[in-house]
């Protein structure tokens, strides 16, 4: 056939037919799988977990004789940062620390705060915290804080107004943003 050639095996010297495209891709060099694998030298290694010897090719970098030994070894290894924070690179010591505050996509200032009952992932809106400190209590779920001048990052107490969503409160329209809410 014009697509095949007769080639000599590099290991045993036996002649065999191989497609030309395999020769071009350096694949048709061995007559069988046995010859192909015999080119790799095999050696014994000792399992790091059970200390049993196992047979692998020299190019293989396995450290354990089986998947079970590998899993058991990983379970017994201590974690380097288990229940610890790295003090040299966390919080104020981190090079990208910006004071624990940032402005979200809606324009509100988010502040990092620990141990607050309404904080999600240790973060909370700053205007709610300012209003809580002013009132001396936590805000209820139906209470919201409105910015009088419409600037969401302006969290001065003079600019904040407590709004409650109840039926017995009168409705008011914000002159800046046009938001309609109920107020005392």
DSSP notation for 64-95 = SSSHHHHHHHHHHSPPTTTT---GGGSGGGST
Residues 156 and 131: their CA atoms lie apart, in Å, by 9
Q: What is the predicted pLDDT for the residue at 12? A: 85
Q: What is the predicted pLDDT for the residue at 157? A: 94
Q: What is the predicted pLDDT for the residue at 122? A: 87
Length of the chain in terms of residues written? 184
What is the pairing mode between strands 42-46 and 53-57?
Answer: antiparallel
Q: What is the predicted pLDDT for the residue at 81? A: 59
* Other Cβ atoms closer than 10 A to 29: 16
Per the confidence metrics, is the pTM higher than 0.75? Answer: no
Q: Profile the chain (184 residues) by mean pLDDT over runs of 10 residues.
A: 81 87 77 75 83 80 87 73 64 78 92 89 92 93 85 92 68 70 62
Which residues have CB under 8 Å from 121's CB, separation 6+?
none
Which residues have CB under 8 Å from 151's CB, separation 6+?
159
SS3 126: helix
Kindly state the helix (H) or strand (E) to which residue 8 belongs, with its residue range.
strand 4-8
Q: What is the predicted pLDDT for the residue at 149? A: 86
Q: What is the predicted pLDDT for the residue at 129? A: 94
Structure-block tokens of residue 20: 């030309």
List the one residue out of 159, 154, 147, 152 whose CA is nearest residue 105.
152
Of the chain, the end-to-end C-alpha distance in Å amounts to 96
Q: What is the predicted pLDDT for the residue at 125? A: 94
């Amino acid at each position: 056939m014009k697509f095949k050639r007769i080639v000599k095996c590099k290991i045993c010297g036996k002649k065999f037919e191989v497609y030309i495209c395999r020769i071009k891709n350096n694949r048709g060099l061995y007559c069988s799988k046995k010859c192909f694998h015999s080119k790799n030298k095999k050696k014994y290694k000792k399992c790091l977990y059970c200390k049993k010897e196992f047979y692998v090719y020299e190019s293989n970098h396995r450290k354990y004789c089986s998947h079970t030994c590998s899993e058991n070894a990983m379970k017994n290894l201590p974690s380097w940062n288990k229940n610890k924070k790295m003090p040299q690179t966390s919080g104020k010591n981190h090079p990208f620390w910006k004071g624990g505050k940032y402005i979200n996509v809606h324009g509100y200032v988010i502040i990092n705060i620990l141990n607050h009952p309404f904080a999600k992932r240790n973060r909370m809106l700053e205007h709610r915290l300012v209003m809580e400190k002013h009132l001396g209590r936590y805000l209820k779920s139906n209470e919201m804080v409105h910015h009088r001048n419409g600037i969401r990052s302006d969290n001065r107490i003079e600019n904040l107004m407590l709004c409650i969503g109840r039926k017995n409160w009168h409705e008011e329209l914000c002159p800046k943003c046009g938001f309609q809410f109920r107020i005392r």
